[in-house]
């Protein structure tokens, strides 16, 4: 544990990124927001986080090169996270102040794994290209890194279960609160480069299914089918996160990044890309009554109301926008979880905190907002239960549609206890709903200012559950 005079990992990270920016180091950006000290909110910076992974992607300079009993625990590696399960590794940001910075540092970036993090040697890893290619191939990591162009994108990665714990009645699964989301700088090879180099059929109606290589023998292969138009537009096979080599828990040596889309689409440990004219579907992709490839595309990550036994499956769809799918159940009965719904989070003040007004009687409310494939247009803040709203302002810089925006609201409260809400509206004029519906209402889309309760607790963007209660001195 560092003493009181030792800079925290977060402070060192901020200092390093500011230095890179001042030195003109391209896209390496991080905006930190100064704020007064509050009580009742953990800082999440108790001990150093990993800084440089080894070839396995799981060790640091002071760690053993192979996993074992001496391997630091998940808590030690990521001191800014609240651990939901140690294996498979699932953890979310512990403190609201994570959402006052433009780029989320590694030690505060959530982790969502279906199986334990695999131990991988980069030199032995390949990505297989199968299906509608002129030639099938196995790409080495060296070819992937050196044989194509390199691009960087800022992308909000959010677990589709973020906000699940706010569903009533409660649903199963990891009980994520607000912290299963982070904004990072991702660097890698454009998927389009690889598809074009090997002569893939990239015509309309085609799909690319990405398979992860982490599943133990006999377990479902984590697979997501991405429409060809999206794969060609902006998807990356990423091998760096925030300017550093990916660590094992985030997909080392290579993961898919689907800008603007929920984390379930961003397959880790990519081992195969398969091109065909439909999603993974049907008996061809299921063996011995085990859903080997179809589970996470067709059965899971779907919006299923109380009345349905399971999701209706489709070979192919032509509506990819999650919100539009939800509003058109006559075309897609159970929406697929694709691009993210508009959402915002207050980062300061934190939950159950006590804050003091500045000399001018104001408090600066800080937070983040994002909207998937769409730009965020406005953010509003309310301190009276949503009866009245005040406009927040965006803070520079703007890193593009796929990044979140920092917002600032100058609040002028009297002493007392308040619950603060934030709500964002995107460029399609879609605004966060207020609450989550009751199961018996059987909603499939956002309606009457309610987000639809669903059996797996997915993609909750209602603003009331995400509010913060604060005391003003």
pLDDT single digits (tens) 328-373: 999 999 999 999 999 999 999 999 999 999 999 999 999 999 999 9
Tell me the pLDDT band of 67, cut-offs 50, 70 and 90. very low
Decide if pLDDT at 211 tops 90.
Answer: yes
Q: Does a cis peptide bond (omega within 30 degrees of 0) precede residue 397? A: yes
Alpha carbon 272 to its chain centroid, in Å, reads 22
Burial class, 144, CB count within 10 angstroms (exposed 0-12 / middle 13-18 / buried 19+): buried
Segment 283-307, tens digit of pLDDT = 999 976 666 899 999 999 999 999 9
Instruction: Supply 426's token pair.
Output: 């995107």
Mean pLDDT on 115-137? 97
Tell me the pLDDT band of 69, cut-offs 50, 70 and 90. low
Burial class, 244, CB count within 10 angstroms (exposed 0-12 / middle 13-18 / buried 19+): middle
Mean pLDDT on 194-201? 98
Segment 86-95, tens digit of pLDDT = 999 999 999 9
Reference 235, options 265, 213, 203, 211; nearest CA is: 265
Q: What is the DSSP letter of 285?
A: G
Instruction: Supply 294's token pair.
Output: 């179809």
Q: d(Cα 158, Cα 231) in Å, to the nearest integer?
A: 19
Mean pLDDT on 405-415? 98
Please indicate, yes or no, whether the overall pTM of this predicted structure exceeds 0.75.
yes
Q: d(Cα 262, Cα 392) in Å, to the nearest integer?
A: 25
Decide if pLDDT at 159 tops 60.
Answer: yes
How many CB atoms lie under 10 A from the CB of residue 438?
13
Decide if pLDDT at 319 tops 70.
Answer: yes
Decide if pLDDT at 12 tops 50.
Answer: no
The proportion of the chain whose per-residue pLDDT surpasses 70, expressed as a percent, equals 84
User: Which segments of 248-352 are extended strands (E)?
Assistant: 255-257, 270-276, 343-348
Q: What is the pLDDT of residue 71?
A: 76
Q: What is the pLDDT of residue 417?
A: 98
Tell me the pLDDT band of 26, cut-offs 50, 70 and 90. very low
- Segments making up each domain of the chain, as ranges: 343-472
Tell me the pLDDT band of 61, cut-offs 50, 70 and 90. very low
Q: Hey, is 301 helix, strand or coil?
A: coil
Q: In what order do the strands lie in the sheet with 405-411?
A: 343-348, 363-370, 405-411, 393-394
Please answer whether residues 331 and 386 qualify as being in contact, where contact means their C-beta atoms are separated by less than 8 angstroms: no
Decide if pLDDT at 451 tops 90.
Answer: yes
| Per-residue CA distances from 100 to 3, 4, 81, 411, 413 (Å) | 24, 22, 16, 16, 21
Q: d(Cα 57, Cα 118) in Å, to the nearest integer?
A: 9
Among 1.10.10.60, 3.30.360.10, 3.40.50.2300, 2.60.40.650, name the CATH number for the domain at 343-472.
2.60.40.650
Decide if pLDDT at 193 tops 80.
Answer: yes
């Amino acid at each position: 544990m560092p003493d009181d005079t030792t800079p925290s990992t977060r402070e060192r990270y901020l200092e390093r990124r500011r230095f890179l920016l001042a030195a003109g180091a391209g896209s390496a950006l991080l905006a930190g927001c100064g704020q007064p000290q509050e009580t009742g909110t953990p800082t999440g910076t108790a001990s150093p986080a990993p800084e440089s992974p080894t070839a396995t992607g799981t060790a640091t300079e002071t760690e053993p090169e192979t996993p074992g009993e001496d391997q630091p625990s998940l808590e030690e590696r990521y001191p800014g996270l609240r651990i939901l399960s140690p294996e498979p590794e699932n953890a979310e940001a512990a403190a609201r102040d994570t959402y006052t910075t433009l780029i989320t540092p590694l030690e505060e970036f959530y982790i969502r794994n279906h199986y334990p993090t695999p131990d991988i040697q980069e030199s032995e890893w390949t990505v297989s290209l199968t299906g509608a290619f002129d030639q099938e191939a196995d790409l080495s990591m060296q070819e992937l890194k050196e044989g194509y162009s390199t691009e960087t994108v800022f992308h909000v990665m959010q677990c589709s279960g973020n906000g699940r714990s706010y569903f009533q009645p409660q649903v199963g699964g990891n009980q994520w609160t607000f912290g299963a989301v982070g904004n990072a700088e991702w660097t890698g090879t454009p998927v389009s480069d690889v598809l074009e180099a090997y002569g893939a059929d990239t015509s309309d109606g085609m799909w690319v299914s990405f398979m992860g290589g982490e599943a133990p023998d006999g377990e479902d292969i984590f697979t997501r089918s991405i429409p060809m138009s999206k794969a060609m537009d902006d998807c990356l096979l990423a091998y760096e996160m925030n300017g550093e080599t990916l660590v094992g828990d985030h997909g080392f040596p290579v993961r898919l990044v689907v800008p603007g889309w929920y984390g379930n689409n961003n397959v880790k440990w990519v081992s195969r890309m398969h091109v065909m004219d439909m999603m993974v579907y049907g008996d061809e992709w299921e063996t011995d009554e085990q859903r080997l490839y179809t589970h996470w595309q067709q059965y899971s990550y779907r919006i299923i109301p109380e009345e349905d036994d399971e999701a209706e499956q489709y070979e192919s769809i032509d509506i990819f926008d999650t919100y539009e799918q939800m509003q058109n159940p006559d075309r897609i009965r159970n929406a697929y979880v694709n691009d993210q719904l508009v959402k915002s989070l207050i980062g300061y003040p934190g939950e159950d905190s006590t804050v003091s007004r500045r000399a001018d009687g104001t408090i600066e409310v800080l937070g983040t907002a994002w909207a998937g494939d769409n730009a965020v247009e406005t953010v509003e803040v309310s301190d009276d239960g949503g009866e009245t709203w005040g406009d927040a302002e965006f803070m520079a810089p703007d890193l593009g549609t796929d990044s979140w925006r920092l917002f600032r609201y100058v609040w002028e409260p009297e002493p007392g206890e308040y619950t603060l809400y934030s709500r964002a509206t995107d460029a399609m004029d879609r605004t966060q709903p207020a609450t989550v519906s009751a199961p018996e209402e059987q909603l499939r889309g956002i309606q009457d200012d309610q987000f639809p309760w669903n059996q797996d607790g997915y993609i909750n963007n209602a603003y009331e559950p995400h509010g913060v209660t604060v005391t003003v001195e």
